[in-house]
Amino acid sequence: MSIGRREILAGGAGGLALALMAGRGWAKGQALDTAYVNATIWTGDGLPAPGSAIGVAGGRIAAIGAAAVKAHSSRTTRVVDLGGAFLMPGFIDCHTHFLIGSDLLGQPNLREAKSPAEFTRIVGEAARALKPGQWVLGGSWDAELWGGELPDRSWMDSVTPDTPVAVQRLDLHMLALNSVALKAAGIDRNTSDVPGGVIVRDKGGNPTGILKDAAMDLVKRAIPTPTDADREAIVRQGIAHGLSKGVTQVHTTELDWMTHDALRRLRAKGETDMRFYSFLPLQDWEKVKALVDTEGRGDDWVRWGGLKLQYDGSLGSRTAMFYQPYDDAPGNSGMPIHKQADVQRWTNDADAAGLQITIHAIGDKANDEALDIFARAAAKNGTRDRRFRIEHAQHLSAAAIPRFARQQVIASMQPYHAIDDGRWAIQRVGAERLKGTYAFKSLLDAGAKLAFGSDWPVAPLDPLTGVAAAVLRQTIDEANPGGWMPEQKLTMAQALHAYTATNAFAGFQDDRLGRIAPGMLADFVVMDADLFAIDPAKVSATRVLRTIVNGAERFGGA
């Protein structure tokens, strides 16, 4: 039996009234498990309502509004007075490399290196802390911080004579290796280039230690493999970190099965505290289909059925695929990681199997071709609710922007990248091509759905920094106080919607997540400031007080 909108909206000071959720974890007459009162609540629609309350029962939101919550509380109901704190739907991050990001929490952070000398110092300190045979991993180095010169193996060799080093650029599209790591991987002047990748060489043809995109696989095979227990412990670290930032679910957009397998093992041991939607390699669509056919798509803690393909590289590595060459690298217009014909075939077949597909595309040409691939697959397989996505959708041609809405392709974007890349993007592609870069507002104005994520560890697993980036667009070098390409700024409501309701839609969960409404799963976050009332410049400094997932407090609280 369903409840009509009239009954849901009837009565209750400061908000919506009770919904009786027959068959949804809460029975008529049952008392609330927990009541959160004296809150400023943003449900996902309209403006926040001060002095309101919500009631939770059976892991779902059972009542909204002070009157409804009071009426259905009993002596057994736990009452939490939030003292006016701001309550909103839990943040969903729709693009993470979760295992990598979690692992980097315990690795050296080269994002702090502002010069080659600092780079060398941090690597050397990390090497001295290791046992013999262990590798220095981690990374997040950014050559733009010291003028753009790429690291060289010589920077590391003097401080790591016996320790292999393989540290990642912050965009995960380059690795910097020392000589020990090159030798362990069997890479020398005679090693052939890899399709879809680059081995950077000096004038004499010798590897400098930099590997780009597909070439990184050459060394990854040489790095010791963590045990299952190691990976599970690493993921647990990441979960705790994400919950402290108000993240209640992430989409793991990986290119392998390691994260997926670790999550399934954790789920078999109980609740994972944070929810996960696992995307697996598009090329493995038959294996994923077989998994879905035999075991379903998981549950609301760990789900699968999504597929991802990396079609081009990154702007920072000059491997994103453009129609015209890079302004600062004449003759180089990027490259595809896979042949378009192969991607089309995999997409057609996976879509016909009913699996969700997303494609990583950064350059304008890569985005146009990804849209073409989706259009052909939809035409071939017929109409259905498929929710195609493009991850990054970073540099768009003028014709591409309306196509997202017309083809119902979700633009899955990362606002922090705009304030990071905005420091130097004009050097890569010039002012004219920047007109379609991180075009958040243009996409929304065209009627497209805009989903937000972090790309963690490329950017922080902290939605509030992403919200601030989308609303202010102030580059992290403080060179654009009025906003970089300010015409693409979003309102607070638009930015929060992209981190909540649209992300739920992008994961086929909009019927149960992304909003504060009766019957929805009780995933929400409590913060110390009303995001609609404060200066947007203070959003990043807002503190998360509590993170509730499935009605249970997973971070903060008493």
CA 524, CA 249: separation in Å to the nearest integer? 11
User: How far is Cα 82 from Cα 105, in angstroms, rounded to an integer?
Assistant: 31
On whether residue 476 sits in a domain, the answer given is no
| Per-residue pLDDT tens over the stretch 523-558 | 999 999 999 999 999 999 999 999 999 999 999 986
Residue 39 included in any domain: yes
Task: Say yes or no: 72 and 117 in one domain.
Answer: no
> What local confidence, expressed as pLDDT, does residue 8 receive?
27
127/171 same-domain check:
yes
Q: What is the dihedral of CA 120, 126, 128, 132, to 10 degrees?
A: -120
Give the CATH number for residue 128.
3.10.310.70
DSSP state of 409: -
- How far, in Å, are 135, 185, 227, 233, 355 from residue 224 at the CA level? 8, 12, 9, 17, 33
Q: Where are the beta strands (DSSP E) in 178-273?
A: 197-201, 207-213, 247-253
- Residue 528 and residue 557 in one domain: yes
E-state strands within 185-270:
197-201, 207-213, 247-253
Please give the tally of structural domains in the chain: 2
Strands 356-361 and 389-392: parallel
| Domain assignment present for 15 | yes
Q: Which domain holds residue 133?
A: 107-220
Among 23-32, 143-152, 364-373, the range scoring the smallest mean pLDDT is: 23-32
Q: Which pLDDT tens digit goes with each residue over 267-319?
A: 999 999 999 999 999 999 999 999 999 999 999 999 999 999 999 999 999 99
Quick one: tokens of 497?
Answer: 């919607």
Domain identity same for 182 and 135: yes
User: For the segment 408-431, what is each residue's pLDDT rounded down to a tens digit?
Assistant: 999 999 999 999 999 999 999 999
**22 part of a folded domain:** yes
Average pLDDT, the chain: 93
Question: Mapping DSSP to helix (H, G, I), strand (E, B) and coil, where does residue 316 land?
Answer: coil
44 and 114, same domain (yes or no): no
Task: Give the percent of the chain with pLDDT over 90.
Answer: 88
Q: Tell me which H or E stretch contains 180.
A: helix 179-185
Query: What are the structure tokens assigned to 104, written together?
Result: 């980097």
Task: List, for residues 157-201, the tens digit of each pLDDT value.
Answer: 999 999 999 999 988 899 999 999 999 999 999 999 999 999 999
- In the predicted structure, residue 14 carries a pLDDT above the cut 70: no
The residues facing 55 across adjacent strands are 35, 63
138 & 213 share domain: yes
> How far is 391 from 382, CA to CA, in rounded Å?
23
Torsion of Cα atoms, 272 then 275 then 280 then 285, to 10°: 110
Compute the distance between CA of residue 344 and CA of residue 473 in angstroms, rounded to an integer.
35
pLDDT for res 20: 38
- DSSP assigned state of 471: H
In a domain, 532, yes or no: yes
Whether 205 is covered by a domain: the verdict is yes
Reported as a single tens digit per residue, the pLDDT across 81-122 is: 999 999 999 999 999 999 999 998 988 889 889 999 999 999
The pLDDT score that the predictor gives to residue 26 is 53
Let me know whether 4 and 77 are in one domain.
Answer: yes
Any domain includes 46? yes
Pair 84, 118 in one domain: no
Surface-to-core class of residue 553, CB atoms within 10 Å of its CB (0-12 exposed, 13-18 middle, 19+ buried): middle
Pairing mode of beta strands 544-549, 524-527: antiparallel
Instruction: Flag whether 357 is in a domain.
Output: no
